[in-house]
Structure 1
Amino acid sequence: MNKKQLKQYILEDFYRYFGTYDKKMYYRYSFTYPNIAFTKALRLAKYYKDKNKIKYLWYKILHRRMTTKYGFQIPIETEIGRGFYLGHHGSVVINVSSKIGNNVNIGQCVTIGQTNRGPKQGCPTIGNNVFVGPNSVVVGKITIGDNVLIAPLAYVNMDVPSNSIVLGNPARIIPRNNATEKYIQNEIVGIN
């Protein structure tokens, strides 16, 4: 990734919140809006990790401070696609080995984690245009397809095909072509 691509990723994350690339709004909210500030620090720390030790250290400290302050536990090394959206701050835990696609919404109190034993030992891979509702748990070496809505309070430990809604504990999968319609707002198009 080059610096131009990094800037584009950060602006696309911002766009997901407000539906605009307005520079005044960006500079106003990129340091005061917790979700945007955290995501920006996360992306900058990841970018500078192997490029500039001083900037990396600065953004790593900033990332760690925001992790403590806002409750987002998303390691710098986590693979996250473009247009990442954190619905509310507080209690979001994502395992470092998880992979998250483009245009993904994560609600509050969500865990995307690892299973330590059994046939699904490992971490999830989440596709594009996925909504993970509040208090949901997604665990194990599973694949969540594209255009999937994981409802609040769902416990997902199985593969989910694209164009589905997932409900409950144990999870129940309901096929639906427009599963995330009106849930993925301000979608970044042309990146899937």
Structure 2
Amino acid sequence: MGKNYKRPKLIGDDIWKFQRLLRKTEYYNNCQKSRVHKLYLKYLFFRLHRVSVHLGYSIPINVFGPGLCIAHRGTIVVNKAARVGENCRIHACTNIGSGRDSIILAPKIGNDVYVGPGAKIFGNIEIADNIAIGANSVVNKSFYEKGISIAGVPAKKISNKGSDGMVFSATKMISIPAPQETIDRTTVIEQVKW
């Protein structure tokens, strides 16, 4: 999350608090089975629901792998049957849902995937590792090639540069620019005329 301190501050750090509460709820749901822990789990679900409503998230437990990074507050809706791998970065106004045929057939998304703002990913599809999904894209088919960028309505491959072009560090996300191509000026003028 790019923080240089160990615990969230009392005021602010709402997204970080949500992620910690999400992981704590997953732990008590998956690992602790005593009666006392089940009662505490109900309390954690209540708190998670309140924080989710406050931030605009509808993210169920046990969907995202380790390293989840939520960039902003805003509407994020995820189907409970979806599965997302490690180190996913997800932006606001994103929807990961099922298709119209079945609510249990949801996307399976690989590791190190970048999901741009407003992206809609739905259906019984698979997204490979290291894929960058562009803003406002509608992804309704599978992409098995690793390390590419996809965008559009419906989404299609637009580049061979995937989320590998973004370095996720403990302090900040750095975008590595692509090498500049030299373009002949007369070619550009001829294309503009058409």
TM tier relative to shorter chain: 0.7 to 0.9
**Cα distance change, pair 43–28 in 1 and its aligned pair in 2 (3 A):** closer
SS of residue paired to 1:48: helix
Compute the displacement of 1:101 (Å): 0.2
**Cα distance change, pair 157–184 in 1 and its aligned pair in 2 (3 A):** farther
What does 1:126-165 correspond to in 2, within 5 Å? 126-161=109-144, 162-165=146-149
What does 1:9-24 correspond to in 2, within 5 Å? 17-18=1-2
Moved over 2 A (4+): 28-32, 181-184
Compute the displacement of 1:173 (Å): 1.2
Q: Deviation per CA, 1:146-173: give whole Å up to 9, x if none.
A: 0000000000001112111111102111
Q: TM-score scaled to structure 1, two decimals?
A: 0.78
What does 1:1-192 correspond to in 2, within 5 Å? 17-18=1-2, 25-29=5-9, 32-49=12-29, 51=32, 52-76=37-61, 78-117=62-101, 122-161=105-144, 162-176=146-160, 178-186=161-169
SS of residue paired to 1:112: strand
Give the RMSD, CA atoms, in angstroms.
2.2
Q: TM-score scaled to structure 2, two decimals?
A: 0.77
Task: Say which is worse superposed, 143-152 or 31-40, in terms of deviation.
Answer: 31-40
Q: Deviation per CA, 1:112-169: give whole Å up to 9, x if none.
A: 0010228x98100000010000000000110000000000000000111211111110
Runs (5+) with no aligned partner, structure 2 = 171-194
Give the distance between the partners of 1:121 and 1:145, measured in 2 at CA.
Answer: 20
Give the distance between the partners of 1:65 and 1:72, measured in 2 at CA.
Answer: 10
How many residue pairs get matched? 164
- Higher RCO (C-alpha 8 Å, min separation 6): 1
Q: Deviation per CA, 1:37-88: give whole Å up to 9, x if none.
A: 1111111112112511132122111100011100010012x32111000010
SS of residue paired to 1:108: coil
Of structures 1 and 2, the larger Rg is shown by: 2
Structure 1 vs Structure 2: percent identity of aligned residues? 26
